[in-house]
Amino acid sequence: MNMGEGVEWGLHCCLALAWVGEETPVPAAKLAAWFDLPQAYLSKCLQALVRADILGSTPGVRGGYRLARPPERITLMDVVTAIEGRESVFRCTEIRQRGESAAAPAGEFRRSCGVAVAMRRAELAWRRELTAQTVADLMATAPAKSPERARRHFAATGS
């Protein structure tokens, strides 16, 4: 499974915005500069987070992005889904019923495909784990100086 880099970018932006606080919108250009990312692509990721009600955006010269809800209510799965979509990672196309097996008796494939069952089980475990962790959890494990460094950066550069 390959997730796009937008997931990492989105999570880090949520973390930075949580440190800055809801009252200070941060422009995409400042977030892009903070992480040394291409602004155009980061803006697309941020807009996906706005559509998912993870971020709020304020237009205009003093506008920017902020968290739309408290960090405790934004799960990692919320961000993954906003950026990557809700589609299942694994798609079973029942190839076991093709080729040599195409002529097998109809009853042979009554039970679900073992490969599909195993993959779904693994994906559900992965989704449960990401749903159980929030941006607040990330805040708690971040290096001690990160929040202050982010606040200083965004305050020094203005909004």
- Tokens encoding 88: 């299942």
Helix then strand then coil, % of the chain, to nearest 5 = 60, 5, 30
Whole-number pLDDT of residue 158 = 55
- CATH architecture under which domain 5-87+134-156 falls: Orthogonal Bundle (1.10)
The predicted-structure confidence for 92-112, as pLDDT tens digits, reads as follows 888 788 888 888 887 888 888
The predicted-structure confidence for 9-24, as pLDDT tens digits, reads as follows 999 999 999 999 877 8
Determine the average pLDDT of the residues in 34-55.
97
Hey, where are the domains in the chain?
A: 5-87+134-156
Q: Given CA atoms 89, 41, 82, 21 in this order, what sign does their dihedral have?
A: positive
Q: How far apart are CA 150 and CA 154, in angstroms?
A: 6
pLDDT at 74 over 70: yes
Contact 54, 82 (CB under 8 A): yes
Amino acid at 156: A
| DSSP category for residue 101 | G
